[in-house]
Structure 1
Amino acid sequence: MYILLALVGACALGIAVHFLIADRELRGVALAPAIATAMSAILYTGLQWLGVGEDSIWLWLASVPGAAVIAAGATVAVTTLRKRSDAAARTALGI
């Protein structure tokens, strides 16, 4: 049940990541929150399987702000790739 707290927290931070990173028009509004939520679920579940208890700060640091950091990196990467792709398409079209 505690996993829901981690997922909601990571999703909220993912929304903040979306608005803090520039070039929002180049990506979908749900990209950063979706990545943060998925990574939070993966990290929380993985650490639980490894035996980290729900009372451990490391579980919460990895699954909430850690997932937001991963989402920020992925969002920057997607935005950069989109800029390069758009520039290549403009060059190919002679625009």
Structure 2
Amino acid sequence: MQILLGLIIGAVIGIAAHFSLPHRHLRGAFLAPLAGAAAAGVVWTAATWMGLGVDSPILWLVAVIAPAATAFALVPLVTRARLARDHADRARLGV
């Protein structure tokens, strides 16, 4: 049940990434929160399997760093890919 803490933290960090990075109209609203929640869930699960508890600051640190790194790395990649594909489509159509 405590994994919900990690999932919520990851989703909130993903929301922050979505709204702080440019070109948000080119990607879905759920991409960054979902990526952040997934990263936090994986890291939280791995850390608890290694024996870390909720009282460990390392668990909280990785639960914040992993979704931030994932969301802030994935969102620009997806945005650049979308911009490149749109540019290629416009060039192909002659617009």
Asked whether the two chains share a fold, i.e. TM above 0.5, the reply is yes
Can you give the 5+ residue segments of structure 1 that lack an aligned partner in the other structure?
none
Report the more deviating stretch, 62-71 or 14-23.
62-71
Q: Percent identity?
A: 40
Paired residues of 1:7 and 1:64 also in contact (CA < 8 A): no
Structure 2 match to 1:11: 11
Structure 1 match to 2:48: 48
* Distance in 1, Cα, partners of 2:31 & 2:79: 11
Which consecutive aligned stretches of 4+ in structure 1 deviate over 3 angstroms post-superposition? none
C-alpha deviation, 1:66, in angstroms: 2.3
Which amino acid letter does the alignment assign opposite residue 63 of structure 1? A
* Distance in 2, Cα, partners of 1:88 & 1:49: 46
Structure 2 match to 1:57: 57
TM-score (norm 1): 0.90
TM-score (norm 2): 0.90
Can you give the 5+ residue segments of structure 2 that lack an aligned partner in the other structure?
none
